[in-house]
Amino acid sequence: MRCSTRRPSSGQAVVFLLAALVILLAAFLWNVDLHTLVTRKIKAQNAGDAAALAAARWQANTLNLIGQLNIAHVAAREAHDDNAVAAITSMQARISFAGPLTALAAAQAAAKKNGIEANPEFTALLRRHAQDVFEFTSPANGRELREPYPNAWTEYHDALINIANDGVAAGPDNARFYADPCGDHILLTKAFYEAVAGREWCWFFLNHSSGGTRTILDDFTDHTFFGPLPDPSDEEVLENPEIFSVGIEAREMPLRANAPLAEYLRENFGATTNSLDAHDIWFFYDQSVWRSPWPGMTLGMDDSLPLAGSVRDEYDYAGADAVTRLYAPASLLSFSSSTNGATRQIVWTAAARPFGYIIADGSRLRPNSFGLVLPSYRDIRLIPLDAASYGNDSSFDIDWRQHCDSHLPDYLDNGALASGCRYCVLLGRFEDSTFRRQGSEWLSTNSYKCTLPSYGHGQGGGTRRGH
Ligand SMILES: [Zn+2]
């Protein structure tokens, strides 16, 4: 017997057609939306990259200028010109602030030229921050911060306000704000929240163990367990601006104290005892910022970036770099989720840095080889975010900043968690004893599976991030 298919009744056909239409319509809308989304994403990427490059270019300009002035200082000392020395030193102190601020302004211009509009939240954040700077540096705060040059704090505050008035499109994401807590605290570590979100129990075992397989998952009691947030930095003089700093320090010392440097200056710039013995202020690299090797780019480590070859020795250092973040509106039709629940946004973070070297005896050396800042920067390149001085700062990640600045102090005082904040939700999950028990039980039998990340410092044990 032949099998016959029954013809569908006309009612079923209508239902089928309707369903097909709905699917087609959805596909059409989704495609249109996808196209807009992709276009916007490319636009945001270009703008973000351009902003980071513009900022890094000004960091290079700043360092080269300060370096050239160090050389001019040597020449002025050789000529016994005290006035010139004084003028040079004062100019260097100003440039170490003015240069990075120009970088901030240049980043805005680059982002806007690439079609990104000023972000009202960024703008408000910078304006509010300018006010914080004003309060932090005011003598009334009891810290007695010495100004790096006369009237520095007022000028710095005014420059931030001027940039805010023009509107901030690209947030300086690796800024280190003076008034921010200075030091480690688990709740200021993004990796903590990511570990809770992803149930990465090993993270707790590797970073917050209290002997055996015991970790803070077992030790936690209530919000008081975490301890207060650290105090802000109490350095007497803040020689670098918070945003796009180039990491230098003014040091009063005779250059002769540094034998290889004295030799280099003698050979290349005709330095004699006149300049080498002078007790003057010179501009050096802050070696806590400028160090080797370049974190995140070291090969042969479990956690290093996948590179085709090793970083050239003359470039293998950490130093000044610029990280910018921007948000661009995505279409409301897109199916992506959003952290703040309002308009869905495309986020793009980019990093760039100046590259340079000095030549001594025919070979290329790292720019900070002699400690003294010398004109060395020749190129600007985009770099991977994980190899940037990004750490846990995320200073222009609006949700994160809000969490750190206003939610955490509340939580640590009275255990209150802000609703709607992703980080507060994750903190709430950590407080849940069932959640923690799950981790403790897993670790009690599986902790041997957790291998120590070979390179963790500077990243706070954080997870690898792309853009
Ligand atoms: Zn929060």
Which pLDDT score, from 0 to 100, does residue 284 have? 97
Per-residue burial over 317-340, b if 16 or more Cβ lie within 10 Å, else e, is bbbbbbbbbbbbebbeebeeeebe
Q: Which residues make Cβ contacts (< 8 Å) with residue 424, sequence separation at least 6?
A: 403, 407, 411, 417, 418
Domain layout of the chain by residue ranges: 11-185+227-396
Which pLDDT score, from 0 to 100, does residue 344 have? 60
Q: pTM (2 decimals)?
A: 0.84
Which pLDDT score, from 0 to 100, does residue 308 have? 59
Which pLDDT score, from 0 to 100, does residue 451 have? 80
Q: Residue 99, SS3?
A: helix
CA atoms of 420 and 418, how far apart (whole Å)? 7
In angstroms, what is the span from residue 409 Cα to ligand 1's centroid? 10
- Could you give the angle at the alpha carbon of 129 between the alpha carbons of 123 and 133, nearest 5°? 145
Tell me the mean pLDDT per 10 residues along the chain, length 467.
50 81 78 74 92 97 97 97 97 95 97 94 95 87 82 94 97 89 88 95 93 93 94 79 94 96 96 97 94 74 60 89 90 46 74 95 94 96 86 82 93 94 96 97 93 47 38
In angstroms, what is the span from residue 341 Cα to ligand 1's centroid? 14
In angstroms, what is the span from residue 170 Cα to ligand 1's centroid? 23
Cα distance between the two ends of the chain: 64
In angstroms, what is the span from residue 229 Cα to ligand 1's centroid? 15
Which pLDDT score, from 0 to 100, does residue 63 have? 97
Please choose, from the candidates 396, 391, 346, 351, the residue with its C-alpha nearest in 3D space to the C-alpha of residue 50.
351
In angstroms, what is the span from residue 285 Cα to ligand 1's centroid? 37
CA atoms of 158 and 168, how far apart (whole Å)? 15
In angstroms, what is the span from residue 54 Cα to ligand 1's centroid? 33
In angstroms, what is the span from residue 403 Cα to ligand 1's centroid? 4
In angstroms, what is the span from residue 406 Cα to ligand 1's centroid? 8
Please give the C-alpha separations between residue 246 and each of 110, 304, 413, in angstroms, as whole numbers. Answer: 20, 25, 36
Six token digits for residue 110: 């680059």
In angstroms, what is the span from residue 288 Cα to ligand 1's centroid? 31
CA atoms of 159 and 173, how far apart (whole Å)? 18
